A and B are shown apart, each in its own frame.
Chain A
Amino acid sequence: MFDRIAALGKTVLDTVAGAGAALIMLVRALIGRPNLRKSWPLLMQQMYSLGVLSLLIIIISGLFIGMVLGLQGYTILVDFGAEQSLGQMVALSLLRELGPVVTALLFAGRAGSALTAEIGLMKATEQLSSLEMMAVDPLRRVVSPRFWAGFYSMPILATIFSAVGIYGGYLVGVQWLGVDDGAFWSVMQSSVEWQEDILNGLIKSIVFAFVVTWIALYKGYNCTPTSVGISRATTSTVVTASLAVLGLDFVLTALMFG
């Protein structure tokens, strides 16, 4: 009985300590005067590997999800004779929920795991230690540009995802199933609001970007530097980040639309 309570206490303490360590890592990585001459190329490099290289999977997934939404939405709405509202359904689902959430999940799987593995491997091969011994702070040199790159990339990716998804819904709804072209867009336009939908979706994806990138970096920076440790950290990144995204999505939705 007491063992159980002690185990629970230990779990709580470990969780709190982990969160604290993650916070300290982030603060150390981000605070301090940036040196633009050095950090700009690093940021570009990371924007490339996190943002540009995630583009293909985002575009393809966005297109397919939009197409599925178009198809499903049509079969439901046509029963009520309301298939002209398809544009509204597709656009609102994508902008409010699917765009930010699916992008964050894909980003965690594609870029987050890569971040964790890369930093874990740098740790295992003593590259991080060697940076420290060369009097270069690995938090500033390695962690910080990756964090900002993830933070900037994901909202851009989410925006592209939503735009491509709406186009996918348009392809299926209008081009294939014959919903009226004008009605599709006009119903969408009369229901989608800048602030309510587009801005809130953007805020969501900014929050997700922060959380996913942070988790990925912390798990990599803090992993056990062995092959087992790195593989565990990578898995843990994807699982933790996905759960965090879904949980936060509920909280944010409740705050924004509740």
Chain B
Amino acid sequence: MSDHTVDYLVELQGVDFAHAHGAHPVYRDLNMQVPRGKITAVLGPSGVGKTTLLRLIGGQLKPQQGQITFAGHNIPSLSRSALYQLRTRMSMLFQSGALFSDMSVFDNIAFPLREHSRLSEEIIETVVLMKLEAVGLRGARHLMPSELSGGMARRAALARSIALDPELIMYDEPFAGQDPISMGVIIKLIKSLNESLGLTSIIVTHDVQEVMTIADYVFIMANKTVVGSGTPAELLASSDPLVHQFLHGEADGPVRFHYPAADLSNELLGIQPTGTEAKHV
């Protein structure tokens, strides 16, 4: 598991994060390494803050403590302009796609090129058509985002996020709300893009079965930190109860089915809870 020859593109060390000072912490002492050129999956139940992880790597949020390095740069300590410079080397596929609703599909994909390159319009058109071809939407270039289905919108957004040939793509819940066919298409696309473009991919998801088929390495998050990591095969063989519960989708286990509450029979009978809750009344 710990191979010293592996080249890590993104590393997190001892990251503590809460959305505000004194607020409920999201992470405590989080450590994670993302190998270059591989597909790394981050799994975890809903609400564990997986999207927050991507925003931390993208520098949109700052941790209270710890280091987040991307290609040797410590992201939280970068200046605003250096951060913007670095962001041209990474990209993120948002859950909603986040296509600009006032531009056509073509203009959406041309947008990062027009912003960050001085290419002529003809070259931009060629590049955009190539990217659209890669996701199979070359025929849909004149449509507006509102005319696309959810799966098509996500593919168009994927084409946009690879427009500048980044080194890292972060996928935020790429499979959420997709029908089986478009889910299959996206899995295939992630895999083939990673191989053909030499990308590093981080996939954040809770769709275990789908991602296990393509991931090279998997982290499982719960309780504000990483509770298990390894290749898919290693994890499936794991005997850790939390990992087991999550990978097999069991309803109850170390992660409770119930939100913390007073005892049901007491509540139904109208008995006032004693102890900690009583103080709030």
**Residues of A in contact with B (beta carbons under 8 Å apart):** 38, 125-127, 129-130, 132-137
Contacts and interface: CB of A to CB of B under 8 A. Distances in A.
B89 to A, nearest CB: 9
A132 B98 contact: no
Nearest to B87: A135
A130 B88 CA distance: 12
Contact of B115 (A129, A133, A136): A136
B226 to A, nearest CB: 24
9 contacts: A127-B99, A129-B60, A129-B94, A129-B98, A134-B87, A134-B115, A134-B164, A136-B112, A136-B115
B90 A133 contact: yes
Given A127-B100, A127-B101, A134 B94 contact: no
A133 B60 contact: yes
B98 A135 contact: no
A134 B101 contact: no
Contacts of B55: 129
Nearest to A127: B98
Contacts of A126: 94-96, 98
B91 interface: yes
Given A133-B92, A135-B116, 4 more contacts: A125-B101, A133-B90, A134-B88, A135-B84
B98 A125 contact: yes
Contact of B98 (A130, A136, A137): A130
Nearest to A49: B102
Contacts of A130: 92, 94, 98
Interface of B: 55, 58, 60, 84-85, 87-88, 90-92, 94-96, 98-101, 111-112, 115-116, 164
Contacts, number: 46
B96 A134 contact: no
A133 B164 CA distance: 12
Contacts of B94: 126, 129-130
A137 B90 contact: no
A133 B95 contact: no
A137 B84 contact: yes
B192 to A, nearest CB: 23
Contacts of B111: 134
Contacts of B164: 134
Contact of A132 (B60, B85, B99, B100): B60
Given A132-B60, A134-B115, A135-B116, A125 B96 contact: yes
A48 to B, nearest CB: 12
Nearest to A134: B112
Contacts of B91: 133-134
Contacts of A137: 84
A74 B91 CA distance: 67
A203 B98 CA distance: 40
Contacts of A125: 96, 98, 101
A14 to B, nearest CB: 13
A125 B94 CA distance: 9
Most chain B Cβ neighbours within 10 Å, of A126, A129, A135, A137: A135
A132 B112 CA distance: 11
B95 A135 contact: no
A134 B96 CA distance: 16
Given A125-B101, A129-B60, A135 B96 contact: no
Contact of B85 (A134, A135, A136): A135
